[in-house]
Amino acid sequence: MRSKGGGGARARQASPRALAIAGGVALIAVIAIVLGVVISGGSGGSQVVSNSDMQGLGTVGNASSPNALPGAADANDLFKGIPQHGLTLGKPNAPVTMEMFVDVQCPFCQDYEINKLPTIVQKYIRTGQVQLHLKPWAFLGGNGSQSFSGRLGLIAASFQNKGFEYAKVLYDNQGQEESGWLNGQMMANIAASVTGLDLARWQADTNSSAPKTVANQVDTLVAQNKKVVGTPTVFVGHTGGQLGYVGTPGVEPTLQQTEQAINHALSGT
């Protein structure tokens, strides 16, 4: 498992795919490939989560169950009582909007999720000052990697307004990127660690076309915004206005940079 320590700004490697996204004409071809893979599920059209993956997990997720993964209780408590609607967290009338592009296998996303985001959640989102929009992007590993299939489970959990709990449990238990850790069974174990998640519905949704449609929409946003060249990428600004890039393109934002951007937006300057 990747270390959860650290916390300074760290460089993200630009993959060939990311470089292609920044490459003008090549952008169209790359996005076409991405969309094609997402539509097929990135795995030859097979089920992402099988019935055997779900065996012994019960019918409803529970952070206190013997099946729950490490950190599940804290992950569920972090978002308890905060409004969720799909991949959006926080009050609809929040004056500031934060947009975050992440990859489920990205170790820098793990660092941001574990060491920075909880402070943002408690200080700004829970208090109604910021609304967060999560954008699960498949950045690592190339076409057909578990970044493509793995994000479908997160999106499916968001259909029950449990996507942020699912993401936190996932990052708390993240394995080595491209090691095969995020298989169907691991995805099912993550789902079983989310209190109140209807597991049969989650499995059906994960295997359906619905989360792929959402994934396609995220890919389209990436294609339209050339500043999204890696993960995590964070934007902050006045709700309904222009969102500004936090930090330096290609580098994980620090907590200080994120808070400065939020406070700047809140001040109206």
Q: Are 61 and 190 in contact (CB under 8 A)?
A: no
Mean pLDDT of the chain: 86
CB-based contact 107:245 (threshold 8 Å): no
Helix, strand or coil, per DSSP, at residue 68: coil
pLDDT at 15: 41
Backbone angles phi, psi at 174, to 5 degrees: -65, 140
Question: Please, which pLDDT band fits residue 31 given cuts at 50, 70 and 90?
Answer: very low
Helix, strand or coil for residue 242? coil
Quick check: 169 pLDDT over 90? yes
* Omega prior to 232 cis, within 30 of 0: yes
Residue 29 in any domain: the answer is yes
* 68 belongs to a structural domain: yes
What would the two tokens of residue 178 be? 């491209």
Q: What domain range includes position 85?
A: 16-267
Give the integer Cα–Cα distance in Å for 164 and 260.
23
Within-domain flag for 8: no
Phi then psi dihedrals of residue 105, to 5 deg: -100, -5
Is 10 inside a domain boundary? Answer: no
- Please indicate, yes or no, if residue 7 is contained in any of the structural domains: no
The total of structural domains in the chain comes to 1
Is 101 domain-assigned? yes
pTM, full prediction: 0.84
**Can you give the CATH number for the domain in which 145 is found?**
3.40.30.10
Q: What is the pLDDT of residues 205-231, one digit of tens each?
A: 999 999 999 999 999 999 888 889 999
**Model confidence band, residue 268 (pLDDT cutoffs 50, 70, 90):** confident
- What percent of the chain has pLDDT above 90? 76
d(CA 138, CA 103): 6
Q: What's the angle, vertex CA 130, arms to CA 126 and CA 132, rounded to 5? A: 95
* Residue 14 confidence (pLDDT): 39
- The answer to whether position 145 is within a domain reads yes
Q: Kindly state whether residue 160 falls inside one of the protein's structural domains.
A: yes
pLDDT (0 to 100) of residue 29:
31
pLDDT of 63-86, one tens digit each?
999 989 999 999 999 999 999 999
pLDDT at 250: 83
User: Exposure of 67 by Cβ count < 10 A (0-12 exposed, 13-18 middle, 19+ buried)?
Assistant: middle
CA end-to-end distance (rounded Å), the chain: 42
181 contacts 235 by C-beta, under 8 angstroms:
no
